[in-house]
Amino acid sequence: MVIKSIYLHLYLIFYVKKFTILLLGVIFTTLIVGSIQAISADHLEPGEGIFKDQEDVEYVTTRDTNYQVYLQSVIRNGDGQLISVTESTKTASHIPHKITDHVFDTLMGEKKIITIDNIKYEKVQYIFSPTLEQRFLGLYPIYEETKIGLKIEGDVLVRMKEKTKDYNNWKIHYCATFEGHGYVCIPVFQVLVTSAMLEPADVITQQWTILRELN
C-alpha cells in the first residue's frame, strides 16, 4: 500500500467525455492499493467497445436495451430542511460494454428479481450523496482503482464555496487505468434531470434504481 501526495501548482486537466476542468491550487492524495493492471484500449479494435476514439466514450440511450435507469434526487439545505424531490423523466444512457455489467453485478449492492409486464428484471438500488468537491468537479465515482482524496484551496476553494451551481446531468463513474488512455473516469450510467440550483451547503441524496432484463 502506497500513499502519494501530489500538489498541482498550475493546472490539472481532467477528461471525462469531452469535459475538461481546469483547476488551480488542488491537492490530490492518491492511495494506491496493490498493483495496477491497465484495461486494454479498444477503440482501435473491431466491435463495440468502451471508447469510440482516443477521448470519447461510447454510450447509448437505454431505450430498447436490457437496461432501465431511474434516478430520484432529494435535496436538503444545510439545516436539513427539505427543498425538493425530483425523479428522472428522460431516457438515461449507459456504456454498451461488459464493464457496465461488471459494475451492475459487483458494485451496486444486493439484487432483487422483479416482474414488470411479464418481463423479469434484476433490480438494484444504489444510494449516493456527492460531496461538494465531487459536485464541483462533476466526478461521482462508484469505483476508484486509485483512491483519490481531494483538497481544494486558494481561489478555487473560494469559488467553490460561494458559487451556486446548476446541475442537470448526474453520472456514475468507474475510474481505472485504460491502456492507451491512462487513468480516466468513465460515466457507466448517466441521467438527464430537471435543472436544480444547489447552494454549496445543500446536500443531495441520490437513489439510483437500475433494472436489467433477465435473458
Instruction: List, for residues 184-209, the tens digit of each pLDDT value.
Output: 899 999 998 888 888 889 999 999 99
**Can you give the pLDDT at residue 39?**
52
pLDDT at 26 over 70: no
pLDDT at residue 84 tops 80:
yes
Q: Which amino acid is at 112?
A: K
How is residue 174 written as a grid cell? 468507474
Say which residue, 122 or 148, is predicted with more confidence. Answer: 122
Q: How many domains does the chain have?
A: 1
Query: Which three cell numbers, joined as nine digits, stand for 143?
Result: 469505483
Question: Strands, E, within the chain: which ranges?
Answer: 2-8, 12-15, 20-23, 26-32, 60-61, 67-76, 82-87, 93-94, 112-116, 119-128, 141-144, 146-152, 165-178, 182-198, 203-213
Cα 167–chain centre separation: 14
DSSP state letter for 19: -
Separation in Å, CA 109 to CA 34, 127, 142, 168, 187: 24, 10, 11, 25, 18
So what's the pLDDT on residue 49?
78
Domain that holds residue 69: 2-35+42-213
Residue 58 contacts residue 97 (beta carbons within 8 Å): yes
Q: Which of 52-61, 80-89, 116-125 has the lowest mean pLDDT?
A: 52-61
Calpha distance 78→214 (Å, rounded): 41
